[in-house]
Amino acid sequence: MLSAIAAFLRRAPYLHAYELGDLDPREAAHTTWIAGDPVRAVVLLYRGLATPTIVGLVEEGVDRDEMCGLLAAHADRLPPRFYAHLTAGLVEALAPARRVLLGHNWKMGLTRRTEAPPGGAVISLTPRDADEVGRFYAESYPGSYFEPQNLERGPYVAIRDGHGIAAIAGVHVYSPATRVAALGNIATRPDARGHGHARRVTAALCDRLRAEVDVIGLNVRADNAAAIACYRAVGFEQLHEYDEWLIDRGEPAA
């Protein structure tokens, strides 16, 4: 079944970068896959972080009935509280629950290569940096999904200045086995913004990943014009839209 799921997801690799990366054998203990036979839609339930996430995405122009059916049929078996990455309109297929829309988002894919701008040296971070990195995100990106184990799951890079870490780029998904990565937790310290640090760390991380993966994607809020401009300068292209929700089945529907 997993081979059929992988073949289906690779029809739109940037839309399904997270799911493809989570097919890595290292993630098997954290993943539950929901699909029919034959595979016409795929739902991923990922439990590797503190709050589970489900991913249910449909290509543009494709009939959504199969995905709606999967979500509706399995809604009662989902965790009581989870994040959901869903193509617009699909949230209605879930059982009645409290739903909080966290944002409209773009999936971007690295489709061309550009040179990184000159600047400070880019260094690699390790699990030994977890406390400092946690403090950096608390100040620079309070809404990030960073957890210390992220530093063990894939590469994170940074630029330092006289005040500590100035900018970081990391990965949410990293799988040399499936040759897919999805960048995440890209942030710059507030007083270090405007110097191109985010572009430098993002470009440097992409350069390091290219030897191991063929598909490099990322998610970005649709209203974050500055981040989108940064990623486009690195070589990313806006390819697919989706919505992010917080679902709480212990509360009545909003």
pLDDT digits over 148-158, tens only? 888 988 999 99
Q: Number of structural domains, the chain?
A: 2
CATH code assigned at 199: 3.40.630.30
pLDDT in the model for residue 251: 54
Residue 196 lies in a domain: yes
Range of the domain at 16: 2-108+242-248
Q: Residue 165 pLDDT more than 50? A: yes
**Mean pLDDT within 53-77:** 91
The pLDDT tens digits of the residues spanning 219-246 come to 999 999 999 999 999 999 999 999 999 9
Q: Residue 100 pLDDT more than 50? A: yes
Residues 101 and 165 in one domain: no
Residue 254 lies in a domain: no
Residues 76 and 155 in one domain: no
pLDDT, averaged across the chain: 92
**Mean pLDDT within 26-35:** 94
**Mean pLDDT within 56-69:** 90
Residue 253 lies in a domain: no
Taking the C-alpha atoms of residue 134 and residue 136, their distance in angstroms, rounded to an integer, is 5
pLDDT in the model for residue 145: 78
Shortest CA distance to 4 belongs to which of 35, 43, 44, 45? 35
**Mean pLDDT within 38-45:** 95
Residues 135 and 77 in one domain: no
pLDDT in the model for residue 253: 46
Residues 69 and 123 in one domain: no
Shortest CA distance to 221 belongs to which of 231, 207, 206? 231
Provide the pLDDT confidence category of residue 146 given band limits of 50, 70 and 90.
confident
DSSP string, 94-154: SPS-EEEEEEEEEEEEE-S--PPPS-SPEEE--GGGHHHHHHHHHHH-TT----TTHHHHS
CB atoms within 10 A of CB 31: 16
Residue 86 lies in a domain: yes
Taking the C-alpha atoms of residue 58 and residue 136, their distance in angstroms, rounded to an integer, is 35
Residues 82 and 137 in one domain: no
